[in-house]
Amino acid sequence: MDQNEKQLEKKLRDRIEANYRSYIQQLQSRPASDLIEQASEIAAVKLVYDELMDCCSAGDAEYLLRFEDPLRLVSDQWLAEQNVSHSDELGHALWNITDKGLGEGEYAMLEPSRDGPEEAGPVTVREFLEQHPGSCFDMMTPGGFVCLTPEKAALLLSGQSVNGHPGDVEYAMEIPAEELLNQEVLNAGFCDGSWHILSDDVHDMEQQAADSPDQGVQLC
């Protein structure tokens, strides 16, 4: 690699870094509800940032340097190429689960109701963590993303605050234990050894309940 190619790649890394810092600053001024809506975009920007900082040819760098914000260009294209239907893959996964009886003995089961089926009611983060001891949790909350190991989940339940971040741990902010534990679980699913949870504040849930009284916890 000649000196000119090295300079091109360094110049691109510097610009990508500046683009990323600017993007994070913009996120910090957004309300939590917007961050939740932008979760896929935030994840894409972080992935592209990491990849471009490590591997990008001089030819790619020369082209991308024509743009003021190459990070946004590549991130948008990455998202566009991920926007495909996964219904067939999901259908196959569901078929495997139901046909082979997967999950029984490995995941918590609901006790059958003697009075017939009941609608799932609201579940707080505290209740969910208590129902799944020894688990890992990957949470999207109004205060940002929160990752809990089994040990950190136990400390949270004991009253210790945790950190939440908008997509970059460098900008993490403290979330008081009671604030997080009293939030209600909107959606929860188990994947890759962790529970993935979407939570919201109680007052937001109450407003949503007024608009849609049949809403409950969704397990996907």
d(CA 187, CA 182): 15
In the predicted model, what is the mean pLDDT of the chain? 83
> Largest Cα–Cα distance of the chain, in whole Å?
76
Res. 173: pLDDT tops 70: yes
The burial of 49, by beta-carbon neighbours within 10 Å (0-12 exposed, 13-18 middle, 19 or more buried), is given as buried
State pLDDT tens for residues 152-165: 999 999 999 999 88
* Sign of the torsion angle spanned by Cα atoms 3, 8, 13, 17: positive
| Residue found by looking up tokens 């590549």 in the block | 74
State pLDDT tens for residues 176-216: 999 999 999 998 888 878 899 999 987 654 555 555 555 44
| Residue found by looking up tokens 């937001």 in the block | 204
Which whole-number Å values give the CA distances from 186 to 58, 60, 120, 189, 211, in the listed order? Answer: 46, 42, 11, 11, 15
d(CA 140, CA 206): 19
For residues 214-219, average pLDDT = 49
d(CA 95, CA 85): 17
State pLDDT tens for residues 113-130: 555 545 556 899 999 999
pLDDT of 23: 93
pLDDT of 219: 47
State pLDDT tens for residues 15-65: 999 999 999 999 988 888 888 888 989 999 999 999 888 877 888 889 999
Q: Radius of gyration over alpha carbons of the chain, in Å?
A: 21
pLDDT of 112: 62
pLDDT of 119: 53
pLDDT of 205: 47
d(CA 66, CA 19): 14
Which whole-number Å values give the CA distances from 113 to 98, 102, 110, in the listed order? Answer: 21, 22, 9
State pLDDT tens for residues 69-96: 999 999 999 888 887 776 777 777 877 7
